[in-house]
Amino acid sequence: MIIKFFKSLLNSPSLQENKQIYSFFRVVQLKFFFPQSFVYILFVPLLVSCVTPSKSATPLADIVDKKTVPEKELQEVVMETSEHAPNPESYYHTLLGLEYEETRGHDASGENDKKALREYLIALRYDPNAFFLLNRVALLYSRLGNQKDALFYAERAQRLEPGNGELLILMGDIFVISGEQEKGLNLYEQALIKVPDSRDVYFKIAGIYADQGDLTKAEEVISKGMAVGPPSPFFPYYLGMLALEKNGLDKGLNLFRDALLLDSYFEPAHMAIANIYERQGDEEAAINVYRHVVNRINPGNQQAVNRLVQLLVQKRALDEALEILTRLSQNDPSNIDLSLQLSRVFVEKRDFSNAIDVMEIVVNARPTDTRLRVYLATLYEENGAFDKALFHYTTVLEQSPSEYDVRIRLGSLYFYKLKQPNEALTQGELAKKINPQRSESYLFTGLIYHDSARYPEAVEALSRGIERNPKVPDLYFHLGATYDKLERFDEMVSAMEQAIELAPTHANALNYLGYTFADKGVRLNEAIDLINRALTVKPDDGYFIDSLGWAYFRKGDLEDAVRLLEKAVSLIPTDPVIHEHLGEVYLKKDLVHLAKESWERSLSLDPNNDQLIARFIAAGFGTPVLENSVKRIKTQLPDTH
């Protein structure tokens, strides 16, 4: 974690741009020689008059209210820009550049940086040896990702002031961002000689050592930085982060608490403490810290909100999660993340109507965000409003026809909910055209053909998928199941074995092959081993337990068979096959009454099982009275509603 932090630190030309720290930590402390009021006093009249200054323009000093900007400071600005008399054209474009930089905080696109850079470059035409301009140009090029040109202008500035410590820091940043850490480290160490009180440099040097894996050296550098200037919570905080990298949870916890002693509102320390509590398994303590951050320090800390809500959901404290999210959403209605969280908590409560209401507002606010609309469609689908789900899926595809996953989702809706297999197949084929290499479309069309009893076409679709994706176990599994329907036993076995070879814990393939062996009465020891392997993955799966019980029955182990099949019935009381299997074992043990009762239960659940009806009559139980059995069995089965 600390390595990632330092990497982000080293890749930023200014710590001001790193949201994890306070604004007073500046990596590049280039002097902004014009106070803010000075910039506006000078700049606004120039713009209003729309006059481009010329060599005969009013001297800059005469424009400035000397009560606002002291004469001495103004002279320093003038002389800093150039060793000779200031050029009005240079000043004009310099002020434009400063104004663009002043407003860059409201521009995430970087356009203002580009505009500022252009103005500074124009200013340099009139004053090519202005140290301030060379500095700004170098910084902006670096900020915009052009480290080569940044270094060119920084080196020009260095020829003017070879011992400028803050320029050395900037050049170190440029080298580090370019991947030349050793050169950057050397420059940072030179900068410390010039500006020994620059705490930022200590963080940068420590960052390099941390990135190189030398955490001990990084700790030493941070500790040295602590001795410079007044106490700051950042130093114990970053020492704590380094301790965490060494798995020193207790040491890290104590250091983060030290940071809070210096500033009880220091948000990063609170978050780190909560993270430690989570790693230690103390979720209640973590909840309390996150709750404190959200309620007392910063309601806008999205990470704290997310973790708090997730932990509350895990504890099934859904009402508190809803209360927090509802309150925060009311205070910040444009926060999409809060609305999504709120919707998901409603889903956890199975309150799909409210979840949908929240997402409708979100989607109306962001109608072109396909991710949000797809989520809304899934909510409608879950709530049984298939027509509205269809509308939103198709709207997404109208906006973005190449959405592969949405094609598969829409196809599933057509087939499984709307019972329109041809439309489903169309979506599957369109998905294949979008990306012929992905396996999901072949698997999807194969399943549609299989579930529609079009087995030869299913084999063809799945085989084509395997040709393109020979390492996808599910393709082999469903191909094997289709071969089974076609009674092509050897090919079924081969396909299932291939699925298991690719995925040794593929529980469905293990169970399917084991049950098939058991049902045919072949390779029974192998069948038992396969099913036991499936049960190690899903130990409480009633169908797998039924398979194992049936394998023991086929092997002649009636006691284990009865025990397992009774357990399977208790887990899945509505499955007719399990009742049929249990009846068969009871009959073999001469438990005739129980056998008859089990078969009656099976037939009540599947009255069209002609083979079992014939077996029922052959066993001397007479003709099954299915209606009476249904009434009796319904009163015995647990209420699943």
Chain centre to alpha carbon of residue 328: 22
Of the candidates 363, 377, 384, the residue with the CA atom closest to the CA atom of residue 407: 377
Please give the average per-residue pLDDT across 219-240, as a whole number.
Answer: 88
pLDDT category at 86 given cuts 50, 70, 90 is: low
Most confident of 55-64, 223-232, 473-482: 473-482
Q: For a pLDDT cut of 70, what percent of the chain falls above it?
A: 83
pLDDT band with cut points at 50, 70 and 90 for residue 43:
very low
Does the pLDDT at position 284 exceed 90? yes
Q: Write the CA distances from 591 to 128, 546, 588, 597, integer angstroms.
A: 105, 19, 7, 10
Domain 297-366 has CATH 1.10.760.10: no
* Whether residue 25 has pLDDT greater than 50: no
Of 183, 242, 220, 202, the closest CA to residue 5 belongs to 242
Which tens digit of pLDDT belongs to each residue from 392-431? 999 999 999 999 999 999 999 999 999 999 999 999 999 9
Environment class of 384 (CB within 10 Å of its CB; exposed 0-12, middle 13-18, buried 19+): exposed
**How far is residue 419's CA from residue 130's CA, in Å, rounded to a whole number?**
75
Q: What is the mean pLDDT of residues 84-94?
A: 81
Report long-range pairs for 62-67 (Cβ below 8 Å, ≥24 apart). 64/38, 65/41
CB atoms within 10 A of CB 396: 24
User: What is the rounded distance in angstroms from the CA atom of residue 387 to the CA atom of residue 364?
Assistant: 18
Tokens of 574: 């509505």
Q: Tell me, what's the pLDDT at 385?
A: 96
Q: Is the pLDDT of residue 117 over 80?
A: yes
Which pair of structure tokens corresponds to residue 79? 């002389």
* Residues 615-640, mean pLDDT to the nearest whole number: 64
Question: DSSP letters along 530-578, please?
Answer: HHHHHHHHSTT-HHHHHHHHHHHHHHT-HHHHHHHHHHHHHH-TT-HHH
For residue 330, what pLDDT is reported? 84
Whether the per-residue pLDDT at 54 is higher than 80: the answer is no
Place of tokens 């000397």: 66
Closest C-alpha to 274, from 234, 313, 301, 246: 301
Provide the CB-side half-sphere exposure for 248 (13 A, CA).
15
pLDDT of residue 626: 63
Taking domain 434-636, whether its CATH number is 1.25.40.10 is answered by yes
The DSSP symbol for 335 reads -
Q: Which residue has the tokens 């009865």?
A: 562
Provide the pLDDT for residue 11: 44
User: 66 or 586: which carries more pLDDT confidence?
Assistant: 586
- Show Cβ contacts of residue 498 under 8 Å, excluding neighbours closer than 6 positions: 473, 476
Task: Report whether pLDDT(441) > 80.
Answer: yes
The one-character DSSP state at 294 is I
Q: The pTM is what? A: 0.61
Q: Is the pLDDT of residue 35 over 80?
A: no
Residue 110: predicted pLDDT: 82
Burial class (CB in 10 A: 0-12, 13-18, 19+), 620: exposed
Q: How confident is the model at residue 367 (pLDDT cuts 50, 70, 90)?
A: very high
- Which phi and psi (to 5°) does residue 275 adopt? -60, -40
Return the higher-pLDDT residue of 631 and 518: 518
The SS3 of residue 581 is: helix
Question: pLDDT digits over 147-191, tens only?
Answer: 999 999 999 999 999 989 999 999 999 999 999 999 999 999 999
Question: Does 136 score more than 70 pLDDT?
Answer: yes
The domain segmentation of the chain, as residue ranges, is 233-281, 297-366, 434-636
- Range 573-586 average pLDDT: 97
| Angle at CA of residue 385, ends 383 and 391, nearest 5° | 130
Does the pLDDT at position 241 exceed 60?
yes
Q: Dump pLDDT digits (tens) for 322-353.
A: 999 988 888 888 888 888 889 999 999 999 99
Please tell me the distance from the alpha carbon of residue 252 to that of residue 272, in angstroms, as a whole number.
9
- The model's pLDDT over 588-606, given as tens digits with 9 standing for 90+, comes to 999 999 999 999 999 999 9
pLDDT of residue 589: 96
98 vs 45, more confident: 98
d(CA 298, CA 266): 10
Which residue is associated with the tokens 């076609």? 486
**Res 85: pLDDT:** 56
pLDDT higher than 60, residue 124: yes
Q: Exposed, middle or buried by CB within 10 Å (0-12, 13-18, 19+), for 313?
A: middle
- Encode pLDDT of 477-517 as tens digits: 999 999 999 999 999 999 999 999 999 999 999 999 999 99
Average pLDDT, the chain: 85
Rounded CA separation 122/124 (Å): 5
Contacts of 533 (CB under 8 A, 6+ apart): 504, 505, 510
Selection from 517, 567, 529, 530 nearest residue 546 by Cα: 567
- Distance between CA atoms of residues 92 and 104, nearest Å: 19
Would 297-366 and 434-636 be classified into the same CATH topology?
A: yes
Question: Per-residue confidence at 59, pLDDT binned at 50, 70, 90?
Answer: very low
